[in-house]
């Protein structure tokens, strides 16, 4: 069974890898037309606020992070004011965010390191960003892209799924997908590709039941198992069946089942 699954996966990967450059271009054209100026859904006003929000968003929803930062940022939104809260002081503000104990330690460590090593400013180099507590490659890529204008494409679970399903950038792990996206995404769309693909994965190309019938790139996507339009709801079907049964009974003829 495992061998069969592996052969099937390899075959599908081979098909997806052949996506034509013109198809990729058309996909991004449509995504841009639908959302010309995409951005993150994390609330922020400064580079440091964005860094904090992205770091907190690991393994939790943007909604939860926004609920926490709406309370935290009016009180503390700079490295100095965050560091002054201390680990125990910051915990009550982020307790509804997943893994908040670990994130509280990382947040204070991050703020202190920015103060000590970077003069209180968010660094603009990948190595310096990834050296901060709680900051990995994905977070660093987002900051480099949004704050410093670098054409980086951070890959999260949504983008990993969309890239593989559609055939835009097949890969076995996030690094492979990132490399393929950087290589194959047309230059004019690379800056915003992260947001387009993330939002598409979050709201359209979802994990369990992608909305293929209403997807704006359905005809360009190479996913083999596209979902079909939903039939009439069960309730509507039952009502229609009841109406037919009633009509048949009154007419004195056998009911014709659909």
**Residue among 118, 160, 162 at smallest CA distance from 143:** 118
Out of 2-6, 116-120, 248-252, pick the least confident.
2-6
How far apart CA 235 and CA 23 sit, in angstroms, is: 40
Q: Is the pLDDT of residue 111 over 70?
A: yes
CA torsion, ordered 56, 66, 198, 225, to nearest 10 deg: 100
Q: Which residue has the higher pLDDT, 239 or 29?
A: 29
164-213 pLDDT, tens digit per residue, is: 999 999 999 999 999 999 999 999 999 999 999 999 999 999 999 999 99
Ordered by start, the domain boundaries in the chain are 2-34+152-214, 47-146, 231-258
How far apart CA 99 and CA 129 sit, in angstroms, is: 21
Question: CATH number for the 2-34+152-214 domain, one of 3.40.50.150, 1.10.1670.10, 2.10.109.10, 2.40.160.100?
Answer: 1.10.1670.10
CB-based contacts of 9: which residues, under 8 Å, 6+ apart?
Answer: none
How far apart CA 224 and CA 184 sit, in angstroms, is: 21
CB-based contacts of 252: which residues, under 8 Å, 6+ apart?
Answer: none
Q: What is the DSSP string of the chain?
A: -HHHHHHHHHHHHHHHTT--HHHHHHHHHHHHHH-SS---SS--SSHHHHHHHHHHTTTS-HHHHHHHHHHHTTT--SHHHHHHHHHHHHHHHHTTSTTHHHHHHHHHHHHHHHHHHHTTS---SHHHHHTSTT--HHHHHHHHHHTT--------HHHHHHHHHHSSS--SSHHHHHHHHHHHS-HHHHHHHHHHHHHHHHHTS-SSS--GGG-TTTTT---TTPPPPP-S-HHHHHHHHHHHHHHHHHHTSPPPP-
Angle at the Cα of 65 from the Cα atoms of 60 and 67, rounded to 5 degrees:
130
By CB neighbour count within 10 A (0-12 exposed, 13-18 middle, 19+ buried), where does 233 fall?
A: exposed
Q: Is the pLDDT of residue 89 over 70?
A: yes
End-to-end Cα separation, the chain, in angstroms: 38
Q: Which residue has the higher pLDDT, 11 or 250?
A: 250
pLDDT of residue 249: 58
Mean pLDDT over 235-243 rounds to: 53
Q: Which residues are catalytic?
A: 138, 156
Residue 185 CA to its chain's centroid (Å): 17
pLDDT of residue 230: 77
Mean pLDDT over 148-154 rounds to: 96
Superfamily for domain range 47-146: Hypothetical protein; domain 2 (1.10.340.30)
Q: Is the pLDDT of residue 55 over 70?
A: yes
């Amino acid at each position: 069974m495992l061998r069969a699954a592996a052969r099937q996966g390899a075959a599908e990967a081979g098909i997806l890898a052949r996506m034509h450059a013109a198809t990729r271009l058309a996909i991004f054209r449509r995504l841009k037309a639908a959302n010309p100026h995409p951005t993150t859904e994390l609330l922020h006003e400064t580079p440091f606020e964005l860094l904090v929000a992205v770091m907190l968003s690991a393994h939790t929803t943007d909604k939860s992070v926004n609920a926490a930062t709406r309370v935290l940022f009016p009180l503390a939104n700079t490295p100095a004011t965050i560091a002054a809260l201390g680990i125990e002081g910051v915990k009550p503000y982020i307790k509804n965010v997943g893994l908040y104990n670990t994130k509280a330690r990382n947040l204070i460590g991050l703020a202190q390191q920015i103060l000590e090593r970077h003069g209180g400013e968010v660094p603009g180099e990948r190595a310096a960003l990834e050296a901060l507590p709680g900051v990995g490659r994905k977070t660093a890529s987002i900051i480099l892209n949004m704050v410093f204008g670098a054409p980086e494409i951070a890959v999260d679970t949504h983008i990993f799924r969309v890239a593989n399903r559609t055939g835009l950038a097949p890969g076995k792990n996030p690094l492979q997908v990132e490399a393929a996206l950087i290589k194959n995404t047309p230059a004019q769309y690379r800056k915003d590709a992260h947001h387009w693909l993330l939002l598409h994965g979050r709201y359209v190309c979802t994990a369990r039941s992608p909305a293929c019938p209403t997807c704006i790139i359905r005809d360009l996507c190479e996913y083999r198992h596209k979902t079909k339009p939903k039939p009439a709801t069960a309730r509507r079907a039952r009502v229609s069946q009841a109406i037919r049964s009633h009509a048949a009974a009154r007419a004195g003829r056998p009911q014709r089942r659909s």
